[in-house]
Chains A and B, each alone.
Chain A
Amino acid sequence: DQQVKQNSPSLSVQEGRISILNCDYTNSMFDYFLWYKKYPAEGPTFLISISSIKDKNEDGRFTVFLNKSAKHLSLHIVPSQPGDSAVYFCAASDGGGGADGLTFGKGTHLIIQP
């Protein structure tokens, strides 16, 4: 049973436009959410996070929105750049304090078209 779902395996966006990556979760105990970015043959790198007490967090071109009632979060990248082409993983924490309480989605492969 997938508790964190990224329903789009891939997404293609034109350079300069906005990229919107979506993530849904089912566990109401999740209270902290993170996005990781991964290039091929490399480890994921942390991108941005949001606590359940907020509905938006912004860091440069990256903004994460959280809709708790819908159990949905999204990552907005604007403007999209070629270097943003990567796999993006959504992850959710159940408040256990460690990464053992972290659940990852299956990832969305973002492709930025020139």
Chain B
Amino acid sequence: DGGITQSPKYLFRKEGQNVTLSCEQNLNHDAMYWYRQDPGQGLRLIYYSQIVNDFQKGDIAEGYSVSREKKESFPLTVTSAQKNPTAFYLCASTDRGRNSPLHFGNGTRLTVT
């Protein structure tokens, strides 16, 4: 079954620690995205990558970092510089067709205390 796998589903960290969220896809999609969802908010774009070894900042990139060393993988690191890291994080991918819908993973709920 093709899809996007995010792990872990729940993650707990102490304030001041960096944490990396995993995202793997086997859809052979070129483009991958990280979104953040907060209660009562829409999805906000953190980072995106349209090809391997290249990525761009989204609307709320501060305090986050990414890498794209492989087509299948797009890990997101939430650094200690992110002021409000507790949120639901969604990874998505799409092929290069114009207006192709996003395919989302099931998300990672990060709680920082």
Q: Which A residues form the contact surface with B (CB < 8 A)? A: 4, 9, 32, 34, 36, 41-46, 49, 51, 89, 93, 97-100, 102-107
State in angstroms the CA–CA spacing of A89 and B92 once bound together: 15
The 5 lowest CB-CB distance pairs between A and B, nearest first, are: A43-B104, A46-B101, A104-B42, A104-B43, A106-B42
Residues 4 to 54 of chain B near chain A (Cβ within 8 Å):
4, 6, 9, 31, 33, 40-45, 48, 50
With A9-B40, A42-B106 in contact, is A100–B45 under 8 Å at CB? yes
State in angstroms the CA–CA spacing of A13 and B42 once bound together: 22
State in angstroms the CA–CA spacing of A89 and B41 once bound together: 10
Contact size class for B?
20 to 34
B99 x A93 contact (CB < 8 A): yes
Q: Mark B63-98, 1 if CB is under 8 A from A, else 0.
A: 000000000000000000000000000101010101
A100 x B104 contact (CB < 8 A): no
A89 x B42 contact (CB < 8 A): yes
Partner of A34, one of B48, B101, B107: B101
Nearest CB of chain B from residue A112's CB, rounded to whole Å: 21
B-side contacts of A46, CB under 8 Å = 101-103
Q: Nearest A residue to B58 by beta-carbon distance?
A: A100
Nearest CB of chain A from residue B102's CB, rounded to whole Å: 5
State in angstroms the CA–CA spacing of A89 and B96 once bound together: 22
A99 x B102 contact (CB < 8 A): yes
B109 x A43 contact (CB < 8 A): no
Q: Nearest A residue to B31 by beta-carbon distance?
A: A98
Nearest CB of chain A from residue B13's CB, rounded to whole Å: 19
State in angstroms the CA–CA spacing of A102 and B107 once bound together: 19
B107 x A43 contact (CB < 8 A): yes
With A44-B104, A98-B50, A99-B102 in contact, is A89–B40 under 8 Å at CB? no
